[in-house]
Amino acid sequence: MPLLAVTTVLATGTTVTAQEMSEMPGHQANPSPGLQKIEQPLPVKAGVIVGGVALIGLELWWFLFSKKKTQPAIEEQESS
């Protein structure tokens, strides 16, 4: 679908402005009043970032450094 938009812009040489976009039927300029952006405090943002990085680090450690030590297979020889 984006390829069609790029092709249309290249072929016609025009783009749609924000004002034209807001005048289109079915397009809402303002989001619904039931949804509001909630600004989170900086310590909460930092905590989420640190927690996420810690979990990613723990996962990397788990897969890279916690491998069990394998022992080479010992072949048993039959004695006659």
What is the DSSP secondary-structure string of 13-46? Answer: -----HHHHHTSTT--SS--TT----PPPHHHHH
Q: What is the pLDDT of residues 7-51, one digit of tens each?
A: 555 556 555 565 565 566 665 556 567 888 899 999 999 999 999
d(CA 14, CA 71): 68
Ranking 21-25, 58-62, 74-78 by mean pLDDT, the lowest is: 21-25
pLDDT of 62 reads 93
Whether this prediction's pTM lies above 0.95 is answered by no
Reading the block at residue 13, the tokens are 């040489």
Triad 10, 15, 19: Cα angle to 5°: 175
Chain CA centroid to CA 20, Å: 31
